Chain A
Amino acid sequence: MTRVFAPLACLAMALFAAAPAVVANAPAEATMGLVQRIFYYHVPSAMLMFVSAVVCGTASAAYLFRRSAAADRLASAAGELVVVFGLIVLATGPLWARKAWGVWWDWDARLTSSLLLWLMFAAYLLVRRYGGPGSEKLAGAMALFGMANVPFVYVSVNYWRTLHPKTSVIMTLEPGMRSAFWFCVSAFALLYALLLALRLRLEERRAEAEALFLALDE
């Protein structure tokens, strides 16, 4: 892992360094103009936030039913990344909404469900950090219930009201925008994979150190 990590990290840095130029060269959107360009950062982060939530929930289920410590480490790493990418989503969203809708925040289906997903995983991290011994299982249950909860939140707020652009927007992008968009998606996906690998490595090292420590005690 360490051998490919450094080149990939350099590649990720290069992608992110080039991203502003790529985004600036993408054609301007007719009605929203400049502010639309935040889309290239907002949507990839949101995609990875949901991917990360699914990774965390699935890994938690594996931990609860299979007792696999590796799955728990993966869940913990993915749980943190949900919160990190969620912060990007929740910061860039209102910036766009202020210009496009005239308000910073609206209790729209997608906004509310993203915020709740973020809250659930923030609670997940709080449990892991402050739950004391045995909190891994509690956190696992939290992630599992959190994942099961997402459709309910979505249906309930969707019925309530909705303003947010549909996901079909991505499929109907014009060519220039599409290439810039997928460029940003790959940059964010690479960053996500690297962070996840790094975080997983840290957890593995920590578990190793703990095992050695326990062995020393005996």
Chain B
Amino acid sequence: MRVAWAILRKDAAVEMRSREIVYTTVFFAASCVLVFAFALVREGRAMPDAAAAILWIAVAFSGTLGLGRTFERERYTDTLRALMLAPSDRPAVYVGKLLGMLVLLAIVEAALLPLIALFFAAPITASPLWLAALLAAGTLGFASVGTLFAAMLVRARSRDVLLPVLLYPITIPVIIAGVRGTAAILQPVPDEAMARFWAALLVFFDVVFVTLSLWTFEPLMTEQ
């Protein structure tokens, strides 16, 4: 856990110098919402459930972008090898990277929610706890698989294309559960029973995928 914390601090320090990834990812997420707003809002009214759908699409898209960039930085300076050589448990490296990704996505989501509320007239304050729980569980599920694949893809040739190709089919349950759950609480009358079902499914997904990632990180990141 100490190693994971150190990696998170290292990544945060690098990021604080330039703020490159945070600024570009947040801007990308915001422009995503704008593009969808132009496409879907007609005569001042959005399609039903559009707010939930676009929130999750923007999170998935900007998450993919952020994942690619975080590891690109490690590849550029060839520091991933150094991280792997560090005398610590390999899974700790994964946990550190995953925590960094969660922080980044939390910032993105904090920026996205007001925009969604503004453009799609979504009542995001109706049941804030359920919204936060769904977002946290969904983000963890997305980032846990994403961090593993992004770490593996560092060495692959066409990594920019392959990351979404691999990540989207696998994270579709997260997107379905996230969108359905969020749509349930963004209705005029929030449906909390529905949100609870989807949140439970997301938590279950998180448990399975984080375990599987921690379990496979070691053999996957070992070079022959």
Where the two chains meet, the residues of A that have a C-beta atom closer than 8 Å to any C-beta of B are: 64-65, 116, 119-120, 123, 126-127, 130-135, 137-138, 140-142, 144-146, 148-149, 152-153, 155-157, 159-160
In the complex the two chains form, is A131's CB within 8 Å of B156's CB?
yes
Interface SS of chain A: helix
CB of B150 to closest CB in A, whole Å: 11
Contacts of B153 in A (CB 8 A): 138
In the complex the two chains form, is A120's CB within 8 Å of B152's CB?
no
In the complex the two chains form, is B216's CB within 8 Å of A152's CB?
no
Interface membership of B169, Cβ < 8 A: yes
Interface residues on B, range: 20 to 34
CB of A124 to closest CB in B, whole Å: 9
Contacts of A134 in B (CB 8 A): 155-156, 223
Residue of A with least CB distance to B222: A137
Interface centre among A131, A132, A152 (most CB of B within 10 A): A152
In the complex the two chains form, is A64's CB within 8 Å of B162's CB?
no
In the complex the two chains form, is B170's CB within 8 Å of A156's CB?
no
Q: Which of A120, A130, A144, A156 contacts B162 (CB 8 A)?
A: A130
Using known A-B contacts A123-B165, A123-B166, A138-B153, determine if residue A152 contacts B148 with beta carbons closer than 8 Å. Answer: no
Interface SS of chain B: helix
Contacts of A137 in B (CB 8 A): 152, 219-220
Q: Which of A138, A156, A160 contacts B156 (CB 8 A)?
A: A138
In the complex the two chains form, is B180's CB within 8 Å of A127's CB?
no
Stretch at the interface among B49-57, B67-75, B105-113, B201-209: B201-209
Contacts of A157 in B (CB 8 A): 176
Using known A-B contacts A64-B216, A134-B156, determine if residue A126 contacts B162 with beta carbons closer than 8 Å. Answer: yes
Interface membership of B142, Cβ < 8 A: no
Q: Which of A65, A145, A148, A156 contacts B219 (CB 8 A)?
A: A65
In the complex the two chains form, is A156's CB within 8 Å of B201's CB?
yes
Residue of B with least CB distance to A155: B201
Task: For the complex, give the distance between the alpha carbons of A140 and B177 in Å.
Answer: 26
Task: For the complex, give the distance between the alpha carbons of A133 and B153 in Å.
Answer: 11
B149-165 vs A: 1/0 string, CB under 8 Å?
Answer: 10011011110011001
In the complex the two chains form, is B209's CB within 8 Å of A127's CB?
no
Task: For the complex, give the distance between the alpha carbons of A127 and B148 in Å.
Answer: 15
Q: Which residues of B (169-209) have their CB < 8 Å from a CB of A?
A: 169-170, 172-173, 176-177, 180, 197, 201, 204-205, 208-209
Interface membership of B104, Cβ < 8 A: no
Contacts of B205 in A (CB 8 A): 152
